[in-house]
Amino acid sequence: MTVNRVPSITLNDGNTIPQLGFGVFQVEPQDTAKAVSEALENGYRHIDTAEMYGNEKEVGEAIRNSGLDRGDLFVTSKLNNGFHEPEDARAAFEETLADLGMDYVDLFLIHWPLPTRYGGDYVSTWKTLEEFQREGRARSIGVSNFQPDHLDRLAAETDTTPAVNQIESHPYFTNDAVRDYCRERGIAVEAWSPIAQGGVLEDSTISGIADRVGKTPAQVVLRWHIQRGNIVFPKSTTPSRIEQNFDLFDFELESGDLEAILALDQGEDGRTGPHPDTFDYVPG
C-alpha cells in the first residue's frame, strides 16, 4: 500500500488535502460502496462526491465499513444547483451530512456559480458556506467552476478566499487562464475530468510517452497533473484501473514531456463540459 506517498497540499486556511483522491461522478448508487471500498483498500484517503451525484449515502457507508479513522480521510461534497438561497443551502448541507453519516466534511463547494440564476447572487450562497466553516461542519470551503470574474466578486464582497476552485482541466483543455488566476491568489486548483473521461488516452503524444516510461496513458496524464500541482481524483469502477490510477509515485516526467502534453491544449474546443458562464441546470 502506498498511502503515505501521496503528497499533501496545504490550503490557504492551513488545512491539508491529499493531492490524489477518488471521484464518484456517474457511479451508480448501487456500485458506489464497492468502488469506494476498493479505493480505500488501495490506499486512497480522499473522496470527491456531491449531492448531485446521488451517492453520498453509499460513500458514507463504505467509509464506515472500512474501519478507518474519520480523521485519516478527506471527504469533499458539493452544494447542488437548486439550493443556492441561504435557507435552502442550510437544509441541503444538513442533508449532505446526514446522508454521509458524518458531523463534518473536510471540504464543501458551491458546485456551479449559476450566474444567470438567483439574480446572479452566488455571494449570499458563499456567505452561507462561511457559516458552515465557522460552525466547524465544513473544515474548508471552496467553489467549483468559478471563472475569474466570479472570484473577483467574492473577493470584493466577502471575507473568505475560497480554499479551492474545482475546474475542468486535462491535456485538451488545460483551462490555464483560470488555473493561473487561482494560483496567483492562493486558491488551490482541483482538476475535474483529469483524463477527459478517457478522451485523451488514445492521443499519440501521450501514448508515446507512456511507452517510453513504461506506464499507461492514464498514469502519464495523472502524473502530469501531479507535477503541475493540480489536485486530482480520477473516477473508475474497474478494480485494475483504481489500482493503476493510485500508482503514480515511482516515476517522474521530464520537463520536455510536461511541455509536450501542455502543447495538446485545444483551448475552448477541448472543453467537454458546459461553460460556467451559461450553465444553468437545476434539478427537477
283 binds ligand NDP (CB under 6 A): no
In the list 110, 154, 236, 257, the residue contacting ligand NDP (rule: CB under 6 A) is 236
**Nearest-angstrom CA–CA distance, 121 and 143:** 14
19 binds ligand NDP (CB under 6 A): no
233 binds ligand NDP (CB under 6 A): yes
CB of 240 to ligand NDP, least distance (A): 8
Looking at 56-64, 65-73, 196-204, 249-257, which segment touches ligand NDP (CB under 6 A)?
Answer: 196-204
Site for ligand NDP in 98-157 (CB under 6 A): 111, 144-145
Closer residue to ligand NDP, CB minimum distance, 51 or 61:
51
**17: helix, coil or strand?**
strand
**Nearest-angstrom CA–CA distance, 227 and 69:** 29
77 binds ligand NDP (CB under 6 A): no
| Catalytic site residue from 44, 53, 172, 181 | 53
Of 139, 112, 137, nearest to 126 by C-alpha is 112
Find out whether 115 and 148 touch, Cβ atoms under 8 Å. no
CB of 55 to ligand NDP, least distance (A): 10
80 binds ligand NDP (CB under 6 A): no
Please name the amino acid found at residue 167: I
42 binds ligand NDP (CB under 6 A): no
| Residue 53 annotated in active site | yes
Looking at 17-25, 80-88, 135-143, 156-164, which segment touches ligand NDP (CB under 6 A)?
Answer: 17-25
Name, in order, each residue with C-beta under 8 angstroms of 145's C-beta and a sequence gap of 6 or more: 111, 112, 113, 165, 166, 167, 168, 276, 279
Q: Is residue 268 classed exposed, middle or buried when 0-12, 13-18 and 19+ CB atoms within 10 A define those classes?
A: exposed
In the list 63, 196, 209, 231, the residue contacting ligand NDP (rule: CB under 6 A) is 196
Residue with cell 427537477: 284
Looking at 65-73, 80-88, 229-237, 250-258, which segment touches ligand NDP (CB under 6 A)?
Answer: 229-237
Of 185, 240, 188, nearest to 218 by C-alpha is 240
Looking at 38-46, 62-70, 126-134, 240-248, which segment touches ligand NDP (CB under 6 A)?
Answer: 240-248
48 binds ligand NDP (CB under 6 A): yes
In the list 195, 206, 209, 226, the residue contacting ligand NDP (rule: CB under 6 A) is 195
SS3 of 94-149 = HHHHHHHCCCCEEEEEECCCCCCCHHHCCHHHHHHHHHHHHCCCEEEEEEECCCHH
Widest distance between CA atoms in the chain: 54
Closer residue to ligand NDP, CB minimum distance, 96 or 216:
216
Site for ligand NDP in 204-223 (CB under 6 A): 216, 218
In the list 15, 37, 124, 197, the residue contacting ligand NDP (rule: CB under 6 A) is 197
Scored b (16 or more CB within 10 A) or e, 185-218 reads eebbbbbbbbbbbeebbebebbeebbeebebbbb
HSE of 269, CA atoms in CB hemisphere, 13 A: 3
**Nearest-angstrom CA–CA distance, 224 and 252:** 9
Rule CB under 6 A: which residues touch ligand NDP? 23-26, 48, 111, 144-145, 166, 192-198, 201, 216, 218, 233-238, 241, 244-245, 273
Q: Which residues are catalytic?
A: 53
